[in-house]
Amino acid sequence: MLQINDLTYRIGERVLLENATAGVPEGKHVGVVGRNGAGKSTLFGLINGALPPDAGSISVPKNWRIGGVEQEAPATDKSLLETVLEADKERLELLAEAETATDPHRIAEVHTRLADIDAHSAPARAAAILAGLGFDEENQARPTRDFSGGWRMRVALAALLFTTPDLLLLDEPTNYLDLEGTIWLVDYLRKYPRTLLIVSHDRDLLDQVASGILHLEHRRLSYYPGNFERFQRLKSEQAAHDLALRKKLDDKRKHMTAFVERFRAKASKARQAQSRLKALSKLDLPTVLADEHSARISLQGPEDLLPPPIITMENAAVGYGDNPPVLDRLTLRIDQDDRIALLGANGNGKSTFAKLVTARLKQANGTLRRSPRLRIGYFAQHQVDELADGLTPYQNMRQRMEKFGEVTDAQVRARVGAIGFSGQRADVKVADLSGGEKARLLLAIATFDKPHMLVLDEPTNHLDMEGRDQLVNAINEYSGAVILISHDQHLIDSCADRLWLVHDGRVQSFDGDMDDYRRLLLSQRGRPGSKSSSLADDKAARAPDMPRGKDVRKATAQQRAGIAPLKKKADDAELKIIELEEKIAKMDAVLADGSLFERDPKKADLISRARGELGSQLEKAEDAWMTLTHKYESAVKELEKNEA
């Protein structure tokens, strides 16, 4: 196991770790969490030996290999596949020795070891990892120098995963991934056969991958069994007596409940509303990992509503210069109450579509109509890096406000204070702001004129968990249309009611929810030689043909016979949910008494563990119920269609 004993580390006069002690069991997948700046990345540096501790020690089993991504893959003439294969030094050395060894005993040892490490399947394994991270066969054969830094970070991640270190250290591994790459990585890490430590602000990743949480707080380390949701629940239960915390929980529940009810009001959105109910209990948990400068994110919506549609496209195309269009045959409609998430791998044209919608690019042909009074706000990930480092939040906001007339110092101070830059923070140069503060400033600037539509391109890249929760609430309170591009599945699940797939030069509605998309993506990327751009085609190819003539009557009879058992299974699954909820409610009532943790900590821990297990059973039961309900409803619709 990984053992940390009385660890102390200082940077100048600042103490990041002080007498910190924790143990990570072998084979566990552990999320390392804590406030921004608490020292999570520093802890990784201490574990891998890059930093020497001031006091204490870190021990791992003698033969363990420790691996982490520290920089992008170098730009060379070697192909991506060669680069990944060369990361396994032992395999390369053994293969070379197998060619030159003359001693029969040594030859036998070499070939035995090659068999042990499954050396002969290495090219296939490396190719599968690269494919999962978004590189098709053609790209895998190209030299690394052909790719930008962000893509070479993916290559470096692929090389690390290929080597399968005994202790894998991942620090924000999804930062350079799109949604599709993130979905694949989460699935891959869930099955990782060895010990994993991961720092991430991605709630879904920690919930699905982590089997333990290492919390860095007040310069100490605490280990909690279970995923991030269980960790949050335990922390919230311990602090349930705090009145302010209770108010925060109630506010979050109101935000999410209002959002679900908004969906339920539309028959066409019933399925999405159903899938969001599962997220309600998770959003109900307080985030205990706020940045020290966290503040409420607010998006100013329009005061004047526009008649629908606000944007229409008919056979529109868009591209760059005289090159062939990136997207064409676009026939779409956007209304002011739409919340649309764009799906599709990087490079398929999501950002190009965003630029077309926001008039940063003009259509090459076809027609595109915007409402004459339409105001659009635009937030793109690259804008965070383009803020003028020499200006302050006050100066940025003053420049924006002066475009609409004369303003006083008090008016500017009030405006920047409302977005979290009160007092001296308003006069801190942008270069010295945190990534979350920069993002919050840009969001305020983007919505300054109360736009009717907001286009958000990777808005969570610089936000911690608290900031992401605030963004979810802000989007759900915003009264205009939203087009969202994000690799954060939690954000999409919580905010989007329509999914559009960008692929093969088209933008089309995706018939399903994020769970459907995840399953489709994983099945498609798991197929050798497949390409990420064929997602929608794959879905269409697997759709069954409709029966005709006598086959219709036969199929209808079979469907009618199969509906009753489906209904019974769905009802039984619902009863199981009710039973589990009743048990959990009883345990919650016991755990709500904070004194139990002082009076009988062993009993409190046993109840907490049991409650965590029931929570996992409840989630599985909900998944089963939703699946069965969907199958039943689909069967009823199909039957009605055939009988019509």
Pick the closest to residue 482 from 515, 446, 511, 517 (CA basis): 446
Pair 449, 576 in one domain: no
Pair 516, 380 in one domain: yes
Q: What is the CATH number of the domain that holds 619?
A: 1.10.287
Helices (H), 592-600: 596-599
Q: Using H for helix, E for strand and C for coil, what is the string for 298-360?
A: CCCCCCCCCCCCCEEEEEEEECCCCCCCCEEEEEEEECCCCEEEEECCCCCCHHHHHHHHCCC
Name the domain boundary from 200, 234, 268.
234
Asked whether residue 411 is domain-assigned, the answer is no
Two tokens, residue 533: 């751009």
Sheet holding 2-11, edge to edge: 14-24, 2-11, 55-59
How many CB atoms are closer than 10 A to CB 155?
23
Residue 171 sits at the vertex; the CA angle it makes with 166 and 172, to the nearest 5 degrees, is: 130
Asked whether residue 469 is domain-assigned, the answer is yes
What domain count does the chain have? 4
Pick the closest to residue 399 from 448, 435, 352 (CA basis): 448
Asked whether residue 304 is domain-assigned, the answer is no
Two tokens, residue 604: 């409190």
The dihedral built from the CA positions of residue 406, 407, 409 and 410, taken in this order, carries a sign that is positive
Which residue has tokens 């305020």?
444
Contact call for residues 196 and 68 (beta carbons, < 8 A): no
Q: How far apart are the first and last CA of the chain?
A: 64
Q: What is the CATH number of the domain that holds 157?
A: 3.40.50.300
DSSP summary character for residue 33: E
Q: Is 535 helix (H, G, I), strand (E, B) or coil?
A: helix
Pick the closest to residue 287 from 396, 357, 206, 219 (CA basis): 206
Q: Rounded to the nearest 5°, which phi and psi values hold at 611?
A: -65, -40
Pair 372, 515 in one domain: yes
Name the domain boundary from 524, 541, 558.
541
Pair 529, 581 in one domain: no
Pair 93, 142 in one domain: yes
Q: Is 21 helix (H, G, I), strand (E, B) or coil?
A: strand
Asked whether residue 484 is domain-assigned, the answer is yes
Pair 445, 590 in one domain: no
> What stretches of 148-225 adopt beta strand conformation (E)?
167-171, 195-199, 212-217, 220-225
Q: Is 28 helix (H, G, I), strand (E, B) or coil?
A: coil
pLDDT, position 253: 67
Asked whether residue 187 is domain-assigned, the answer is yes
What pTM does this model have?
Answer: 0.70
Pair 250, 320 in one domain: no
Q: Could you tell me which residues come within 8 angstroms of residue 79 by beta carbon, excluding any fewer than 6 positions away? A: 140, 141, 142, 143, 144
Q: Is 498 helix (H, G, I), strand (E, B) or coil?
A: strand
pLDDT, position 546: 31
pLDDT along the chain (644 residues), means of 10: 92 89 92 87 91 92 88 89 90 84 84 83 91 92 90 93 94 90 94 94 91 92 90 77 62 66 59 58 55 66 89 94 91 93 90 93 92 92 70 87 85 84 86 82 86 93 83 90 93 91 93 87 63 40 34 49 70 79 77 68 78 79 73 67 56
Q: What is the signed CA dihedral for 456, 458, 462, 465, rounded to 10 degrees?
A: 90
Pair 469, 611 in one domain: no
Name the domain boundary from 541, 568, 601.
541
Contact call for residues 441 and 433 (beta carbons, < 8 A): yes
Q: What is the signed CA dihedral for 203, 207, 209, 210, rounded to 10 degrees?
A: 100
Which residue has tokens 């995840």?
518
Pair 33, 178 in one domain: yes
Pair 147, 15 in one domain: yes
Two tokens, residue 331: 């026939």
Asked whether residue 463 is domain-assigned, the answer is yes
Asked whether residue 400 is domain-assigned, the answer is no
Q: Does residue 52 have a cis peptide bond before it, meaning omega lies within 30 degrees of 0?
A: no
**Which helix (H) or strand (E) covers residue 44, if one does?**
helix 40-47
Distance CA 246, CA 236 (A): 9
Q: Is 223 helix (H, G, I), strand (E, B) or coil?
A: strand
Residue 276 belongs to what domain range? 243-283
Do the bridges between strand 167-171 and strand 66-68 make them parallel or antiparallel, or are there none, so unpaired?
parallel
Asked whether residue 424 is domain-assigned, the answer is no
| Residue 321 CA neighbour count, 13 Å, CB half | 2
Two tokens, residue 297: 């994110």
Pair 465, 608 in one domain: no
Distance CA 517, CA 498 (A): 13
Pair 266, 204 in one domain: no
